[in-house]
Amino acid sequence: MSTNAPTQTDPDTGEELHDVRLHVNGIVHQVRIPGRRLLSDALRHDLGLTGTHVGCEHGVCGACTVLLEGKPVRACLMFAVSAAGQELTTVEGLAAPDGRLGPVQQAFKECHGLQCGFCTPGFLTTITAGLRDNPDPTEDEAREMIGGNLCRCTGYQNIVSAVCRAAEIARLEPEGEQA
């Protein structure tokens, strides 16, 4: 996590700074951050990955959900230093390397699974992980899969449809071509 470099402090806060190596979307980033910097803030402000949204700042809404070693976590509840050395995937990392939409992104587009889009990154990462655990969910299982994420616009029906459509897209794609 930290190096043996001389201790430095943030000139604004006086907090000790830590050199941290974050592995995000397959790229290694070296950042110098306070120990209390939230992962959501490090992603957005230090790395410029603004797809991770911050809604409630209490871990309730799910807008800040990212994948840590493939599992969904709330980036607003986690210190960035605790993610050092682990693989993180943000919404920016869900597309294929050639820019094609991943199955969940494509399904959201086809099924009109978003309106304002604020909650969408958290839904996309949550569903990506959920479909790895359950690649063929029923509608009830799809509802359960997204139960920890809040949307104030859609009424959820199109999101549930998108979960089922994403599973179908993933089944139709040749192995190894999924984002």
For residue range 12-22, what is the model confidence (pLDDT) as tens digits?
Answer: 888 899 999 99
Q: Give the tokens for residue 174.
A: 């040749």
Question: Tokens 């690649």, residue?
Answer: 135
**By the 8 A CB rule, do 37 and 81 touch?**
yes
Question: Other CB atoms closer than 10 Å to residue 44's CB: what's the count?
Answer: 19
Q: Is the pLDDT of residue 6 over 90?
A: no
**By the 8 A CB rule, do 90 and 126 touch?**
no
Task: Give the pLDDT score at 107.
Answer: 98
**By the 8 A CB rule, do 51 and 92 touch?**
yes
Q: Is the pLDDT of residue 48 over 60?
A: yes
